[in-house]
Structure 1
C-alpha cells in the first residue's frame, strides 16, 4: 500500500513539473541562426544586412517594427538589404518574443553610446558581418532622428537617391501619424492662445512617472483655485524625461528646451515657466510648491502676484488647497 502511495505521489509530482514546463512560454528561433541565414542570403543576392534589435521595454520598438515591415516600406528595403530581426531582451510576460542567444549577438555588434538607449537598434552589416553604421534609441527627437536612420540606410552604395527619397517620404508619413507635437510648437501655440485671450502662458514640464507632477496637476485643477489659473493663464504641458515604456509620448525637443530654461544648476520635474503674450520669459519654478517650506513657497506666491495679479484671498485659498492635496498623496 505504501509503495502505491509513493508511486502516486511521484506521478503527481512529475505531472506538476510537466505542467509547469508546458506552461513556460516558447522561445523564438536562435538569433545566431537568423543572422547566419541573413548573411548567406546577403552574399547570394549581393546585399547588406540590417540587424534590427527590438525590446518591449522601449515604446519605439513596436513602431520601428511596423515601419520596417510596412507593405510600402519593406519592398524598398528588400531591394538593398536583408532584414534580420531579433529580440534580445524581454520581460517575463513577453518572453516568447525573445530569441535564444540574441543578447550575445546584440552585444557582439552593438556599440554602446552614452546617453542613448540601446533599443530599438538598427545595425548595418556588410557581407563579412562588419559593422558599417548603427542607429538606436528610437525617434524621441522626431524628424532629426528619422534623418539619422535615413543617413544609415544611404550608406549602402546600391541605395539610389530615388529609393532614399521614397523611403523618407513613407517613413515620415508613418511617424507623423503617431508622433507627439514638438515642444517648441506647444510653446508657440500656448503663447498664441495667451495673446488672443490676454493671458500669460503657463507651461508645465512633466512625465508619466513623476509623482509630484500628478500632485501639481491635481492641486491646480481643484474647483476653488482652477478659476484663478484658468482666468490668468493659458496652461499647457510638455512631456520630458519620459520612461522608456512611455518614450513615444515625449515631445521632440523637450530636453533641449528644459535645459535651456533650467540652466546648469537645476534639474528635475515638475518644472514650469511663465511667458507673456509676446513670448517673453517672466518666471519659472522647480518642483511642487510646498507650503511647509516658507522661503520657496513665498517665491511661488510672488510669481502668482506678479504674473497673475493674485489677491491675498486667492493666495490664501491656493495655499490651503496645495497643502491639502499634498497631505493626501
Structure 2
C-alpha cells in the first residue's frame, strides 16, 4: 500500500500526494490493476473503522490482489496538520470530495482516469465508511464496477466484514 509512514518516521514529513499517486500509477500499469485511493484523518472515527476493516487479512489480501491501494491523510487541523500528505486536500477536492467529509474514496485506472468515488448515496452524498445496509450495498456495487476480477464470493467476504464491523443500531 502506498501511504505515509506511520509515527516511527515522525521526523520526516509524509510523502506528497503527487509522489504517492505517481508510484501507484506505475505499479498499477505494471500489475494491470486499478487504484483505490482513500482519504482519512487522525480525528475521524469512521476513518479508523474503515482502515480497521480493510486491514483484516482476508479483506486486505482481496483488495491488494485487485487494486493498488493508496492512503492519503487530509483535513487535519492545528498541530496535526503536519500529518497531511501535501496536496491531499486539493486532490480530494478535484476528485469531488470537497464537501464530502471523511472517509472519502476514489477509484482510478492506472492512467489516473477517475472511475468512481464514494459520492454514491442519494443526493450524491458520500457513503463514508460503509456501515448502514444501503452503504454496504453501494460499496459492493463500487467494487463490482472497479474490480472486475473480484468474484461475487470474494466481494461478499469484504462486505460481510463491513457488516460485522458496523456499529449496532
Alignment TM-score, normalising by the size of structure 2: 0.79
Deviations along 1:128-157, one digit per CA (max 9) or x if unpaired, are: xxxxxxxxxxxxxxxxxxxxxxxxxxxxxx
Contact 2:136 2:163 in 1 (8 A): no
Contact 1:191 1:275 in 2 (8 A): no
Structure 2 equivalent of residue 206 of structure 1? 40
Deviations along 1:244-272, one digit per CA (max 9) or x if unpaired, are: 121111112111111111266x3211111
Contact 1:195 1:277 in 2 (8 A): yes
Instruction: Decide which structure has the larger Cα Rg and report it.
Output: 1
Structure 2 equivalent of residue 289 of structure 1? 130
1:320 and 2:163 equivalent?
Answer: no
1:307 and 2:146 equivalent?
Answer: yes
Q: How far off its partner does 1:243 sit?
A: 2.5
- In 2, the alpha carbon distance for the partners of 1:325 and 1:258 equals 26
Q: CA RMSD in A?
A: 1.9
SS for the counterpart of 2:167 is: helix
Structure 1 equivalent of residue 121 of structure 2? none
Contact 2:59 2:157 in 1 (8 A): yes
Which structure 1 residue ranges, 4+ long, deviate > 4 Å from structure 2?
none
1:188 and 2:27 equivalent?
Answer: no
- In 1, the alpha carbon distance for the partners of 2:60 and 2:86 equals 29
Q: How far off its partner does 1:217 sit?
A: 1.0
Q: Which has the higher contact order (CA 8 A, sep 6+)?
A: 2
Contact 2:97 2:104 in 1 (8 A): no
SS for the counterpart of 1:178 is: coil
- In 2, the alpha carbon distance for the partners of 1:233 and 1:192 equals 12
Greater share of helix residues, 1 or 2? 1
Distance 1:233 1:263, change over 3 A: closer
Q: Gaps (5+ residues) in structure 2?
A: 1-10, 119-125
Matches within 5 A, 1:1-329: 178-262=12-96, 266-285=99-118, 286=126, 287-290=128-131, 292-294=132-134, 296-309=135-148, 310-327=150-167
Q: Gaps (5+ residues) in structure 1?
A: 1-176
SS for the counterpart of 2:15 is: coil
- In 1, the alpha carbon distance for the partners of 2:22 and 2:156 equals 32
Alignment TM-score, normalising by the size of structure 1: 0.43
